[in-house]
Structure 1
Amino acid sequence: MITIAISAILVEGTRIKAAQTQIESALDISAKSALANYNYLLKELYGLMALSSDDPDLLMEEIIYYLERNLMVEGIKEHKTKAESTLDTINESETVKNIKKFLGVDKKKEEKSLDLYDYKIENLKVQPIYNLSEPEVLRAQILEYMKYRGPKELSEGLMDKFLALKDFKKQADILKEKLDVDKNLTEIKENEVKASDNI
């Protein structure tokens, strides 16, 4: 009897620890998925990974949306995307139901998968770390990025100028040849005018 009790305690403890690890991993993935909607222009110009919206409630809604799908929470119908809602509306229409009935594909059994953890999201709080509307934070972030980007841009500009100077000799030779050709064409034109006057 004691062996069974100890085994049950060990199994339950392992299950709880596995669930905790799975929740932390799902939360991390969900937060990264929500941050994937960053403002591309700010990232390219200033190296700032910032969201276009600064509303914590909107960010929390997105994280909950991804978290529910990562944890396979039951009853996630209230957080459907517009495309999913539209598809459900179409599938629930009488025309689609009649077509499915005619084709014999409406007999789909929904089998419930094995759920060892029965996750429910009761409370989630999103706390933005940095607010880019604060001038000190914004300035520090831009300076940090420009510390690396500034010298890179400067060195690239100097390299372009040095490469242009390298080709300067070639360009000068080509320009000299063009001037010689233009001079010869002018002489030919003058001789042609004289010839036409003598005729």
Structure 2
Amino acid sequence: MRRAENWVGLFVVHRSPTSPLSQYSQRSKRCFQTGQMRFHVPNTEVNNPGDTFDNHDDHPLALITIDVDHFKQINDTYGHLMGNQTLIAFSRQLKQLLSNQNDSYKFYHTGGEEFAILLPNTSLDTARKVVHDCQLALKTLAIPLTEGQLQVTASFGLAVANPNDNSATNFFKRSDRYLYQSKNNGRDRLTDESTDTDLS
């Protein structure tokens, strides 16, 4: 299996030309000292996909892709400033959770309302538990409004790298495909290669 930084570097450049990730990657820069991708992520205080990881040969590597549910509705109802504040609060909540669990887990903003978590040395069952913990953490997140509070949910896709993943693109696309299955099946749930689990 490839080094994890190679997987991530390819995630940055391989998606649909119209996807948020592609749009963000067009604004990314390559660090000439390290040769690693530096990904421009405004106002979310999350990791850079140029971060390096240990060699994960012969160890499981899991990828969770995440989409904030009904984000367009949040923007349309409360305005883009509140939308941006929602993304900041969302990312801080999950990043704090992950840092308390395992410092090898890396949280990324891949564009728009989409995020990803790369989990080295993590099995499918363990990654499922991480998703469940993320869901529980989001249930405690209340974003203040002028009147009341805004609560958000998210949809999740999960893939674990396997020998059939002959490229990082295929690996990412599998997780992304599961994510969109979650969205199409009602949101606020996890889909992976063997389950479609409602987390509510």
TM-score range, shorter-chain basis? under 0.3
Q: Which has the higher strand share?
A: 2
User: Larger radius of gyration, structure 1 or 2?
Assistant: 1
Structure scoring higher RCO (CA < 8 A, sep ≥ 6) equals 2
